[in-house]
Chains A and B, each alone.
Chain A
Amino acid sequence: MADLTNLEELRQLAPPAELRRAPVIEGNLGLGWLTDKLSAFAEAKVPKWWWFFFVPTAFAATVIFPVCLFYQVFTGVGVWGNNHPDMWGWDIVNFIWWVGVAHAGTLISAMLFLTRQHWRTTIGRMAEAMTVFSVAMAGLYPAIHVGRAWFDWFMFPIPNSNGNWPQFKSPLMWDVFAVNTYLMVSSLFWFMGMIPDFAVLRDRSTTRVRRVIFSFLAMGWTGSAWQWHNYEKAYVVLCGLCTLLVFTVSSIVGLDFCTAQIAGWHATIFPLYFVIGAVFCGFGMMLVLLTSLRKLCGLENIITRSHIDKVAKLTLVSGLIIDYIYLMEIFIAWYSGDPYERWVFGHRFFGQSYWYFGWMLLGINVGVTQLLWFKKIRSNLLLLFVIGLLINVGMWTERFVIVVGSLYQDFLPANWGKYHPTMWDVGLYIGTLGAFFMLYLLFVKFLPVIAISEVKGATPQGDPHHPLGGAPKGGH
């Protein structure tokens, strides 16, 4: 151990201010203040802006959504625009889009935990909630696009009187397991992370109702060293498992496409393509949620500009990977020498229909993403909000180009036909959007939106080896 007597000398060895890491939490006001600050929103009166957003989303979720859902289930898939040759339409586009939104949540929460990035503590919970709600929305589409939703149980390996079993060699079958597992594991992960914070809210509760609810949810958590010891282990294990899921779920969705013999789908790059696309899309949604909630919930000291800057950088990285994949896809289509592949890719940008989607895809996912190179833009929250929205639109377009763009003009005139979404397609999508945001608003208002215990552990006051955390002078 070096001689620590000359503290002044050590201080001079420390990096200059601009090279030092930004603190996780601004203000440096201590653990009690943090607890008050982080639980304040869940305990305060419901603010006006919350109702302003909640009423329309709740209308979409509880009126538009069930109407479109039940009409489709009772009538059949024919109410949608899906028809020969576009047997897959908005249902699959939206399914992939929602799965995609989910992925960044898991990535932020699980992978940044494994790499010990302390700044994830402030945004991890929001990201996990995004995952849980969007996987739930995604899971709905495959369940109803099979047409006869009351036969969904055929997809599960249940011994039945028909004596048949699912066909396990198909990626479509794997999807069933992948999406269900994703929903279940991300919910478990989300819930487990909240247990200590439920205990915080339980101990702070002033009314009997709150006390009973949070006591029930906290399940008797006391925060003993033994509990934390096992909890931390379980958390690491769950993080590892969630990271595996990030790479599994969208890969399998990609396999649905690349096992099909359709030019534009039949490419080995698809599993990776879908994973990265999913992550990119999810980061877009994360930017939208973070920049807005930070302001609305008054969390400027907690979700600092430095954190948002980092999310923007990660968005840029995933955007650059997706740009590379676009390039590769087009290059391989040309390099393969396959006239059908070449024709499909040429058609995406110079065809008769939907060419504008091809250019929109390039304009947003390749063009707009490059704006994130600039620090000025990364520090402009309004711009980041808009860029996040645009990325979501761009990634939705990408899925449309892949799904419909490859189907609508096959190589026989009998297989030509444009795709027109109907009001039921649109209504269902609006309904899922409404349900997602309604659930998210409920989460923001009533549950610990920031991981209180994790944030406290990431402050200097929570570090037993830091002078502010009670370590003796000169370190531990």
Chain B
Amino acid sequence: MNGKVYGLMAEFDSPGAVLRAAEKVRGAGYRRWDVFTPFPVHGLDQVMGYRNSLVGWVSLALGAGAFMSVVGLLWYANAFDYPLIVGGKPMFSPPMTFVPAYILMIMGAAVGALVGMLGINQLPRLHHPLLAKKRFESATRDKFIIVIGANDPQFSASATLKLLGDIGGSNIETVEDQE
């Protein structure tokens, strides 16, 4: 174990405790830190200061793109490249395009939501320093973990350790990043 220090991690027992602790970490002025929880904790978004997620916009962009592409495709296929008369109806009219375009809009938007979520979260990733920690396994079980990154301008091995202890963290450990 002689890798670079990635950060310090501390465990908390309940969502309420971690929420209050997170408020204090933020109050202390840290910027590069994160909270790891087994499920989304209500109110943590506000404490972390997250704005509306961009996933919705990715989804909208892909959905709208799919909608317009299908309208274009239908015009190209049934009215331009191979004009097809069906029941004396016009070669191209907006209502005829609606159903296929709408369905593929849903497809595009759904792919956008998943891919957007993975992309913004930088997933999939094969390695994460925290996943090498044995204690971190409880973050998907019943523990709530705060990690303060060593790349934070305020990070100092002793002061950060003290802060994590003061706000009620237990089992405080150093996380190493093995390149």
Residues of A within 8 A of B (CB): 30-32, 35, 157, 163-171, 173-174, 177-178, 180-181, 184-185, 188-189, 191-192, 196, 199-200, 202-204, 219-234, 237-238, 241-242, 244-245, 248, 252, 453-454, 456-457, 461-466, 468-472, 476
Q: Is the CB of B103 within 8 A of A237?
A: no
Q: A31-B141, A32-B141, A233-B117 are in contact. Are A222 and B36 (CB under 8 A)?
A: yes
Inter-subunit contact B114/A188 (CB<8 Å): yes
CB distance from A393 to the nearest CB of B (A): 31
A231: contacting residue among B15, B48, B121, B124, CB under 8 A:
B121
Indicate whether A169 sits within 8 Å of B86 (C-beta atoms), given known contacts A221-B123, A228-B37.
yes
Q: What are the interface flags for B9-46 relative to A under an 8 Å C-beta threshold, 1 for contact and 0 otherwise?
A: 00001111111001000000000001111111111110
Given A167-B84, A237-B55, are A220 and B14 neighbors across the interface (CB < 8 Å)?
no
| A174 to B106 alpha-carbon distance, docked (Å) | 13
CB <8 Å contact, B131 and A220:
yes
* Contact of B37 with A185 in the complex, beta carbons under 8 Å: no
Contact B40 A457 (CB under 8 A): yes
Q: Is the interface of A mostly helix, strand, loop or mixed?
A: helix
Contact of B53 with A233 in the complex, beta carbons under 8 Å: yes
Q: Are B55 and A230 in contact (CB under 8 A)?
A: yes
Chain B residues near A222 (CB-CB < 8 A): 36, 128, 130-131, 136, 139
Q: Are A173 and B100 in contact (CB-based, < 8 A)? A: yes
A159 CA / B104 CA spacing, docked (Å):
18
Some 12 contacts from A to B, beta carbons below 8 A apart, are: A174-B100, A203-B136, A203-B137, A203-B139, A219-B123, A225-B45, A230-B116, A462-B41, A464-B16, A464-B19, A470-B14, A470-B17
B135 to chain A, nearest CB (A): 11
In the complex, the answer to whether B106 meets A241 with C-beta atoms within 8 Å is yes
Summarize B's interface: helix, strand, loop or mixed: helix
Pairwise interchain contact B140-A223, C-beta atoms closer than 8 A: yes
**A431 shortest CB reach to chain B, Å:** 28
**B38 touches which of A165, A178, A223, A469 (Cβ 8 Å):** A223
In angstroms, Cα B81 to Cα A319, docked, is 47
Distance in Å: Cβ of B134 to nearest Cβ of chain A: 10
* Complex Cα–Cα for A223 and B74 (A): 43
Which residues from A are CB-within-8-Å of B64? none
**What chain A residues lie within 8 Å of B48 (beta carbons)?**
225-226, 229
B118 at interface by CB-CB < 8 Å: yes
Q: Nearest chain B CB to A9's CB is how many angstroms away?
A: 24
Question: How far is the CB of A154 from the nearest CB of chain B, in Å?
Answer: 13
B107's nearest neighbour on chain A, judged by CB, is A181
Partner of A234, one of B59, B86, B139: B59
Question: How far is the CB of B93 from the nearest CB of chain A, in Å?
Answer: 9
The digit string for B49-84, where 1 denotes a CB below 8 A from any CB of A, is: 010111110010000000000000110011001101
